[in-house]
Amino acid sequence: MQWVRHVDTKSPKRVLWLNIDETSIGLAPPHTRGLVVSKQLWRLAPGGCVSEPATVVKKEDLRGAFTYMAVICSCQLLQQELPHMLIGCEAKLTRKLMKSMEDLPPSKLQLVRQKSAWCNAANLVDYFKKLQVALAPYVEILRPVVVLDVAPSHLPEAVMRGAQECGLELVYVPAGTTSIAQPLDVYGFRSFKSWLARELQLLRPSIPARSPISTKDLLGILRRAPTDFFCRRHWDTAFRCLGVGPPHTWHTRLRRALPVDFVGVSGKLTVQQLEEIFPKKRRMEHAPELLL
């Protein structure tokens, strides 16, 4: 919180707060309640008892997933300018599937096909470059500050240098506090998954009984997420969970986690304070030079 206050006040330029984080999107979405189906489509439990409706899903899709890299910002007008990224492995995000997406309307969601669907440092550095291009017209009046958690892929020196080269300041949410102090975790991903479930439910009647939703149909919905979900919400209040602004405006869970007599301080972090933000077993010798 001290770090956030220091960043917020150290320059006359208005801070544009951004939060980047990833969430997993399963290739076999769970069954959505509210559908009416014939008993012929119900799964039989051991002993022949009817248990619940079932969709036939390939075994390789049960654990398959994409990684959705989302970004929100404190200015609603700029939210529509921000790119999003979907990372998929080569086996699921095939060349044929990628080519079939080319004829669809433009989207702020960029597809990345690689060996693994896990987000890595190179993905994040590449995303910083795209973000730099999107924010280029506004950097004369705004100072972009990116909030990240301390996931392993966010901590390499290459990530911090990449952000620096793209004109982005980084602020890290302390380990173990993302549930109360990271905007996307507190305000974003739960409602995003609910929106996705509703969109999948609306699509279900057009799909043959017991057939799974195709990867192409799933991608079609996700390509609309940047505009149909993220751009239709006001995210400025989400950054209150960082401790920006007066205490009475802070997120409730954050206020409850702090001592009653807590007094927020502002000022540049010391090297020791910075080390306490990161996981204890992680070596971060490069961090003070690039962050302080």
Sorted by where each begins, the domain ranges of the chain are 2-291
Strand 14-26 and strand 65-73: the pairing is: antiparallel
Nearest by Cα to 256 from 241, 246, 266: 241
Q: Give the tokens for residue 250.
A: 């802070």
Q: What is the pTM of this model?
A: 0.89
- Give, for 43, the enclosing helix (H) or strand (E): strand 42-44
Per-residue pLDDT of 222-281, as tens digits, reads: 999 999 999 999 999 888 777 776 777 777 778 788 776 666 677 889 999 999 999 998
Under DSSP, the state recorded for 151 is: -
Residues 175/200, Cβ–Cβ less than 8 Å: no
Nearest by Cα to 140 from 171, 167, 169: 167
Q: Map tokens 């950054």 to a residue.
A: 239
Per-residue pLDDT of 66-119, as tens digits, reads: 999 999 999 999 999 999 999 999 999 999 999 998 888 899 999 999 999 999
Give the CATH class of 2-291. Answer: alpha beta
Q: Give the tokens for residue 139.
A: 């950097």
How far is the C-alpha of 192 from the C-alpha of 232, rounded, in Å? 11
